[in-house]
Chains A and B, each alone.
Chain A
Amino acid sequence: MSNQNLFELNQVAKRFTKGKETISIFQDLNMQIKEGDFLAIMGPSGSGKTTLLNLLGGVDQPTEGQITFDGQRIDNLSESQLAKWRANNIGFIFQFYNLMPMLNAARNVELPLLLTNLSRSERQKQVKVALELVGLSDRADHMPSEMSGGQQQRVAIARAVVSDPKFLLCDEPTGDLDRQTADEILQTLQLLNEEFGKTIVMVTHDPSAAKFAKQTVHLNKGEFVTAEELPA
């Protein structure tokens, strides 16, 4: 893990307006994520985990404060600039895989590469490498409906890493899987972190999953707390 910060959140606030009521999720949140880190974020429902993940992934903007990624501010980017930034820098892994049901595994993995200038043959090469990395090169032609949950999540991981982003965001990546499959997925994430230097932030409810991360932080009511400070 390098000492350089990949992400920096400074005095970040996030508020939502619901009718006449304003709901504050974060107030003056500060956070640094080092390059090469594998960070697990835990916390009860409503603690702000998903909102934080959305802010880190550039799918949501803070109400106040600054978010810097690799020295570049992303909190002031337009929607289209953010889309481009996400395509270039972030790999997303969702709880329910979110594969396109009408595309086979290879075509699903290829999706982020459609946003690049690579030729079809170059894209196919990268897809092959990504599927080999997750051990699914023999399932390239399979449709999502023909694969198990674990296999689908591995396709989703291949999709997340195919364009070689620096940063992977995982939202409950093992929440829909049995223990053994979950461990296999987490080992793959560990491999991506340790061998390929990917910086990973993973939101999870599962303490066993959090053990695969290099460090774990706890969120409660929009603030970082120690594990002991969490409500029972």
Chain B
Amino acid sequence: MKDLYLVYKNLTRKKMRLFLTTFAIFIAFLIFGAIMALRGALNSGVEMSADNRLVVVHKTNFTNPLPYSYVNKTQAIEGVKQVTHANWFGGYYQEPANQVVTFAVEPESYLAVYPELVIEPEQRKAWLNNQASILVGERIALANGWKVGDRIPLSSNIFSHKDGGQTWDFVIEGIFKGAEQKTDTSYLLFHYKYFKETQSWGGDSIGWLILTTEDASMNETVAKAIDNNFANSNAETDTSTEQAFNKAFIEQIGNIGLIIFGVVFMAFFTILIVVGNTMVLAIRERTAEIAVLKTLGFASIRIFKMVLIESCLLAFLGGLLGLGGAYLLIQGASENLARFLPNLVLDQNILLQALGYMLLLGLITGIAPAISALKLNIITAFNRG
């Protein structure tokens, strides 16, 4: 503790150098925080997938519909616990630009397959009993200022209403929350039966099936059995785990992992060189001072620690500021991108990872100058001076 003042004074002795180095680290951790939050948002669907949940889509393209009869046929397959289905509604609220993710579902089975959707019992009952009602996710309700009892018009950019037009009127009977912070609550659910009865075209078809297996170990067997069951039919299926399905969906954008690795690697590599070089120069400039400290009786190992503490402090100073910047950036962006990236947050894992990288950065950039300070010979240093 007694040496901290000395470390602090050394760190702040050249204000411009401190500012520039801190700024470089700030940028690196701003990028790290923002990119990791983006990755987390993109992967949240993958992370939150249940182990025993499978998704069945049309083999040709997942946007192609499946016959409704597949629901019962799939339920009959050994190892299948519960089947439900969903249709993409293509909804928007008031303006086409204001898209809201909306699914037409079979309410009871859907809630059974997705136990992470938490609803007040009265609201659940009200939604199940009222076909023309809608269940709204907490996040999207907050974003639009909706509450239970509100009437909202939802339009579809795909389907038409039997009565003409493309708008359906719904009453909000319930708002569901997520069992975990990362559970997606940025979408709406309404009755498939109501959808089928009120749409002008689309027939007796469903978008895709979601099912749970008796046990995750049966996933592969069940998936094969489903696909074999519908092989050589007009609508062959492709069954995969929910996790694999979500991952494949995200990777349509590109190899997110590789892109993120590339960006973060470049940022940190540059920082390593910049900060490492700064630390080496800073310690070299202080050769005579280190020799004086050693002459006064400061042990070499103590000076070694002081240099390492200094480089770590520098890394934490820039790093924490960068994370703070990333937090503000993410806060601002998450409000605007809530519909597309509902889980854009700087979570605890990112913070812990960033703290680990700060420590690593401090140690790596400080180790060479610390060793050179450790080994510095007093006589050689004074002769050099």
Q: Is the CB of A115 within 8 A of B5?
A: no
- Binary contact readout A92-103 vs B (1 if CB under 8 angstroms, 0 otherwise): 101000101111
The verdict on A140 contacting chain B, using a C-beta distance below 8 Å, is no
Of the candidates A54, A84, A100, A101, which one forms a contact with B297 in the assembled complex, judged by CB atoms under 8 Å apart? A84
Answer yes or no: B300 CB below 8 A from chain A CBs. yes
B299 touches which one: A57, A84, A92, A101 (CB < 8 A)? A84
Q: Which of B9, B294, B295, B297 contacts A102 (CB 8 A)?
A: B9
Q: A218 at the A/B interface (Cβ < 8 Å)?
A: no
Closest to A84 in B: B297
1-37 of chain B: CB within 8 A of chain A: 2-3, 5-6, 9-10, 12-13
Indicate the size class of the contact surface on chain B: 20 to 34
Contact B378 A59 (CB under 8 A): yes
Proximity bits, B293-324, A CB within 8 Å = 1, else 0: 11111111100000000000000000000000
Bound complex: CA A107 to CA B6 (Å)? 9
A residues near B298, Cβ cutoff 8 Å: 83, 87, 114-115
CB distance A83 to B9 under 8 Å?
Answer: no
B379 at interface by CB-CB < 8 Å: yes
Known contacts A60-B379, A80-B301, A100-B289; is-contact A107 B5 (Cβ 8 Å): yes
A112 touching B10, Cβ below 8 Å: no
B5 and A87 within 8 A (CB): no
Per the 8 Å Cβ criterion, residues 270-300 of B in contact with A are: 288-289, 292-300
Closest A residue, CB atoms, query B286:
A100
A86 within 8 A of B: yes
Knowing A60-B379, A101-B13, A114-B3, say if A79 contacts B296 (CB, 8 Å).
no
CB interface residues, A 85-143, toward B, < 8 Å = 85-88, 92, 94, 98, 100-103, 107, 111-112, 114-115
**Which residues from chain B contact A102 at a C-beta distance below 8 Å?**
9-10, 12-13
Is A87 a contact partner of B379 (Cβ separation < 8 A)?
no
Distance between B380 CB and nearest chain A CB, rounded to angstroms:
11
Nearest CB in chain A to that of B3: its residue? A114
Q: Is the CB of A57 within 8 A of B295?
A: yes
Residues of B within 8 A of A85 (CB): 297
- CB contacts under 8 Å to A, within B97-123, are none
**Cβ of B301: which chain A residues have Cβ within 8 Å of it?**
80
Q: B12 to chain A: closest CB distance in Å?
A: 8
- A59, A88, A103: the one contacting B295 at CB < 8 Å is A59
B296 & A92 in contact (Cβ 8 Å cutoff): yes
What is the CB-to-nearest-CB distance from A88 to chain B, in angstroms, rounded to a whole number?
Answer: 7
Instruction: Compute the total of residue contacts between A and B using a CB distance below 8 Å.
Output: 59
CA A94 – CA B295 in complex, angstroms?
Answer: 11
On whether the beta carbons of B300 and A98 are closer than 8 Å, the reply is no
Chain A residues within 8 Å of chain B by Cβ, number: 25
Instruction: Tell me, in angstroms, the Cα distance from A157 to B292 when the chains sit together.
Output: 14
Task: List chain B residues, Cβ under 8 A from A88.
Answer: 297
Given A59-B379, A102-B10, A114-B2; A87-B297 close (CB under 8 Å): yes
Chain B residue nearest in CB terms to A79: B300
How far does the Cβ of B69 sit from chain A's closest Cβ, in whole Å? 81
With A86-B295, A102-B9 as given contacts, are A80 and B288 in contact (CB-CB < 8 Å)? Answer: no
- Shortest Cβ distance from B11 into A: residue: A102
A83 engages B294 (CB within 8 Å)? yes
State the Cβ distance, B113 to closest chain A Cβ, in Å: 65
Docked pose: A173 CA to B227 CA in angstroms: 93
- B292, B296, B298, B379 — most chain A CB neighbours (10 Å): B296
Tell me which residues across on chain B come within 8 A of A86, comparing CB atoms: 295-297
CA gap between A112 and B296 in the complex, in Å: 6
Cβ contacts B166-194/A at 8 Å (1 or 0 each): 00000000000000000000000000000
Q: Which residues of B contact A (CB under 8 A)?
A: 2-3, 5-6, 9-10, 12-13, 288-289, 292-301, 378-379
Can you list 9 A-B contacts (CB < 8 A)? A60-B378, A80-B301, A86-B297, A87-B296, A98-B289, A103-B6, A112-B296, A112-B297, A115-B297
- Further 10 A-B residue pairs, CB within 8 A, beyond A60-B379, A103-B6: A57-B295, A59-B378, A83-B297, A100-B9, A111-B293, A112-B297, A114-B2, A114-B6, A115-B296, A115-B298
